[in-house]
Amino acid sequence: MVEETGLRIIGGKFKGRRLRAVRGTRTRPTSDRTREAIFNIITSEVRNTRVLDLFAGTGALGLEALSRGAQSAVFIDISRQSLSVLQENLAGLSLESPNRIIRWDLTKNLNCLLSMPQAFDLVFLDPPYNKNLIIPVLNHLRISQSLENGARIIVEHSQREPLEPDRLAFEIVDQRRYGKTLVSFLNYVV
């Protein structure tokens, strides 16, 4: 079920620490190269943020943010295997509290966030590619009212799945291509 991988924390206080991953191809952790590029772009925006990691998988993006000074993180995924591995990764870094792991079907809504005491400043959205999940989940985020005005949303997606957030409360401020992956940087504007 769990395998040791070359996946590791790229920077911050846990730099170099290895992360576990789910065996097989059901999850697609963000590569070290792409994660490093993302965090090089947002490096000044991470400290003291409240992070939301959607389709969290191994938690690599949220854990990287915590390593770089984020205040807390909430990780959401539907897969029991992924959440088990994520729990091991959090425990291995001694990062269990105040961070939370939630098992939830993100395709339905984000009602699991309604009881959160504070809104999020930084969101990572890394859904399965080419499943048309990005726009519905962005809509769920907007409806949940769980984002700070100006929150940064980073979406990792296939080049074949373009974003059309103009009809929502999100503005694309940057896009970068890393191999077959497109990373879109959005701001939440209300």
pLDDT of residue 28: 62
Rounded CA-CA distance 134/127 in Å is: 7
Strands 120-125 and 50-54, how do they pair? parallel
Q: What is the pLDDT of residue 1?
A: 45
Name the maximum alpha-carbon separation found in the chain.
42
* Residue 41, φ and ψ in degrees, nearest 5: -75, -40
The reported pLDDT for the residue numbered 2 is: 44
Local confidence pLDDT in tens for the 190 residues of the chain: 444 557 899 999 999 999 998 876 556 677 888 999 999 999 999 999 999 999 999 999 999 999 999 999 999 999 999 999 999 999 999 886 789 999 999 999 999 999 888 899 999 999 999 999 999 999 999 999 999 999 999 999 998 887 876 566 899 999 999 988 999 999 998 7
> And the tokens for 79?
């897969």
Task: Specify the pLDDT at position 169.
Answer: 87
Cβ–Cβ < 8 Å for 66, 51 = yes
- For residue 107, the model assigns a pLDDT of 95
CA torsion through residues 53, 39, 136, 22, sign: negative
SS3 content of the chain, % helix, strand, coil (to 5): 25, 35, 40
Residue 140: per-residue pLDDT: 94
